[in-house]
Each structure stands twice: as structure tokens, then as C-alpha cells.
Amino acid sequence: MMHCASCREPFHGSPLICAACGAVQSSGVEAPDYFQVFGLERRLGVDVAALEREFHRLSRRLHPDRFARATAEEQQNSLRATALLNDAWRVLRDPVERVEYLLKIEGHAVGEEHAGKARSAERQPPADLLEEVFELNMQLEEIRMSRKMGETADASVLAELRTAGERFEAMLDELDQALTAESTKWDAGKGQARAGAAARMIELLDRRRYLWNLVREVREALGAAA
Ligand SMILES: [Zn+2]
């Protein structure tokens, strides 16, 4: 349980501003994690509408106008708390960033950190996508070449690329559904079950990063060719 550094009352909600005495969290106190910022337990299932209401409520309470006559230290504290609140809102509102963040504070290596450990694996397409990625790269190369030569890209290549892009976008959607399913398991599980869900989410995030890069390349190529 976190306590207010000014009045020592335990916090029941956000520790950014004390409901009992109105003190804004000072710099001497260990920063709460993003879930604690909103007075939430560490769970992946988040009611985003409720989160947004709490974000606006806390933003108003921390607004600089309210600290116009406060000490310089209190003003600094309110600015720091606002910055933390904004960061926490940006990450927790997004289901994918929320998963990455939670895994990170739970001590897992995710994202760049995880990719760094398996750099060669990261650049290799997932085994089941090898063929499709190979073809996609050929199509992208053809389109780049014709652009370089100042020619319009071949219509059939563009059509193939569009179809491939749709397939990869559909895979992204499927993947996000799988991520939601694992999130639910993580919230409900303990010990081994939770560790298993975390491991699968880390894999899904790696695959997601790979797919997202492909989708972005396709969108760029189609956008430039349009
Ligand atoms: Zn207090």
C-alpha cells in the first residue's frame, strides 16, 4: 500500500494527488507504475472509458492554474505528475502497448530488448511466412525498380501486392485477437498458467512487429504508386 508523503494516509486511488490532504506527489517518492497512477491493479483487461474519465479528472486536478499561487516546488511536482499521467494514459489506453508495458514491469524482456537477444531470428521471417514474404519482396522490388526508371508500375504486380497486403492485415487482426485471448488468460491465471500466457504474448508481439513492418512497406509502396 502506498502512503501520502505529506499526511501518511494510504492511497485508495491514484497516488498523484492525495484525496485526503490534496498534496501532489513529490519528487522524493518512488514513482508509481502506470497502473498505480490510475489506482488500478496490474491487469491487462482495462475499462478504457473509465480510464479516460479518470485521466480527465486527474488532469483537471493537476492543472497548472490550480497551482498558480503554490510554491515553486509544488508547481514542479504538479508538472511532473502531469507528465507521468500523460505517459500512463498514452500507454494504457492502447491494448498492445499495455501488454508490452505490463510484461516489461513484470520483468520480461520484450520488444527491442527481446529482439536484440535474437537479432538473427528477428530479421528472418516467421517460418510459416517464408514463401509469402519472399514473393512480397519480389513485388516490392519490381515496383521500386519501375519507379526508379520513371515508369508506371505493372498493374498486375500492383494487384498482387494489394492482395498480399490485405492478407497480412487480416493476419494482424487475427493476431490481435490471439493477444486479447492471452491477456485474459494472464489476468485469470497464476504461476505456470500466467508464465505460459506471458511467453505466448512475447512471441505474438515479435510476430506482430514483423507483420506490421510488412504492412507498412506495402502501404508505402501502394501509396507511392497511386
Ligand atoms: Zn495526504
Expressed in angstroms and rounded, the spacing between residue 3 Cα and the centre of ligand 1 is 8
Same domain membership, residue 51 and residue 12: yes
C-alpha distances out from residue 153 to 10, 142, 148, Å: 65, 8, 10
CB-CB contact of 37 with 14 (8 Å)? yes
Expressed in angstroms and rounded, the spacing between residue 7 Cα and the centre of ligand 1 is 4
Strand, helix or coil for residue 175: helix
132-155 pLDDT per residue, tens: 999 999 999 998 898 888 888 888
What is the predicted pLDDT for the residue at 35? 97
Domain span at 213 = 105-225
Same domain membership, residue 182 and residue 134: yes
Expressed in angstroms and rounded, the spacing between residue 195 Cα and the centre of ligand 1 is 37
Same domain membership, residue 216 and residue 110: yes
Domain contains 100: no
Confidence band (pLDDT; 50, 70, 90) for 120?
very low
Expressed in angstroms and rounded, the spacing between residue 78 Cα and the centre of ligand 1 is 14
Expressed in angstroms and rounded, the spacing between residue 128 Cα and the centre of ligand 1 is 56
Same domain membership, residue 215 and residue 113: yes
Mean pLDDT computed over 75-85: 94
- Counting every residue written for the chain, the total comes to 226
Expressed in angstroms and rounded, the spacing between residue 14 Cα and the centre of ligand 1 is 12
CB-CB contact of 165 with 215 (8 Å)? yes
85-95 pLDDT per residue, tens: 999 999 999 99
Same domain membership, residue 4 and residue 82: yes
pLDDT of residue 121 exceeding 90, the answer is no
Expressed in angstroms and rounded, the spacing between residue 9 Cα and the centre of ligand 1 is 6
Same domain membership, residue 109 and residue 145: yes
Residue 17, beta-bridge partner list: 24
Mean pLDDT computed over 181-202: 96
What is the predicted pLDDT for the residue at 114? 61
CA distance 74 to 165: 52
Expressed in angstroms and rounded, the spacing between residue 76 Cα and the centre of ligand 1 is 17
**Domain end: 93, 117, 137, which one?**
93
pLDDT of residue 29 exceeding 80, the answer is no
Domain contains 99: no
Mean pLDDT of the chain: 90
Same domain membership, residue 219 and residue 156: yes
pLDDT of residue 25 exceeding 80, the answer is yes
Q: Please report, rounded to a whole number, the percentage of residues in the chain having pLDDT higher than 70.
A: 94
Domain contains 32: yes
Expressed in angstroms and rounded, the spacing between residue 15 Cα and the centre of ligand 1 is 9
Expressed in angstroms and rounded, the spacing between residue 197 Cα and the centre of ligand 1 is 38
pLDDT of residue 225 exceeding 80, the answer is no
Expressed in angstroms and rounded, the spacing between residue 8 Cα and the centre of ligand 1 is 6
Mean pLDDT computed over 177-185: 97
Expressed in angstroms and rounded, the spacing between residue 12 Cα and the centre of ligand 1 is 11
Domain contains 217: yes
Strand, helix or coil for residue 146: helix
The model's pTM:
0.86
Amino acid identity of 93? R
Listed residue (173, 200, 13, 16) closest to 103, CA to CA: 200
pLDDT of residue 127 exceeding 90, the answer is no
CB-CB contact of 14 with 38 (8 Å)? yes
Number of structural domains the chain divides into:
2
CA distance 115 to 81: 32
Same domain membership, residue 113 and residue 73: no
166-179 pLDDT per residue, tens: 999 999 999 999 99
Which has the higher per-residue pLDDT, 11 or 43?
43
What is the predicted pLDDT for the residue at 47? 97
Domain contains 199: yes
**Domain end: 93, 118, 141, which one?**
93
Expressed in angstroms and rounded, the spacing between residue 19 Cα and the centre of ligand 1 is 7
